[in-house]
Amino acid sequence: MIISSQRYLDQDTVNDNIDRQDYEVTISPEFEIDGDTYQVVLDGHHAYHAALAAGAEPLFVIADSSDNDTICLLNEGMVDEFLAANHMDSDWYDIRTGRDIW
């Protein structure tokens, strides 16, 4: 499941991504919590919504520690710290359904 904690959406940014056909979404490597597998949207929240609005498929790219320095927290098994470092403005939710996870 791909999750996010960013609910804020700037429609001008979404429209710009549609115009540029920028649908790239950077996500974390997979990690587990209580037996469920997750990935976090690290960048491209607006690109994801642009892809949906344009009827296109988002392009998911998995980040590594050279792309995002908080990945090292995942690599060290520090999932709670990773989630705290990447928390934005809302509860964590499933980007496909919009339903809150935590």
Contact 94, 1 (CB under 8 A): yes
Output the pLDDT for position 1: 97
Distance (Å, whole) CA 28 – CA 16: 24
Which of 7, 79, 87 lies closest to 37, judged by CA? 79
Q: Is the pLDDT of residue 65 over 90?
A: no
Kindly state the average pLDDT of the residues 8-18. 97
Looking at domain 2-94, which of 3.40.50, 3.90.105, 3.90.1530, 1.10.10 is its CATH number?
Answer: 3.90.1530
CB 95 within 8 A of CB 3: yes
Name the maximum alpha-carbon separation found in the chain.
40
Domain edges within the chain: 2-94
Q: What is the mean pLDDT of residues 17-31?
A: 97
| Average pLDDT over every residue of 8-13 | 96
Q: In which region does residue 10 sit, left (phi positive, over 0), alpha (psi from -120 to 50) or beta (all else)?
A: beta
**Taking the model in full, what pTM does it have?**
0.91
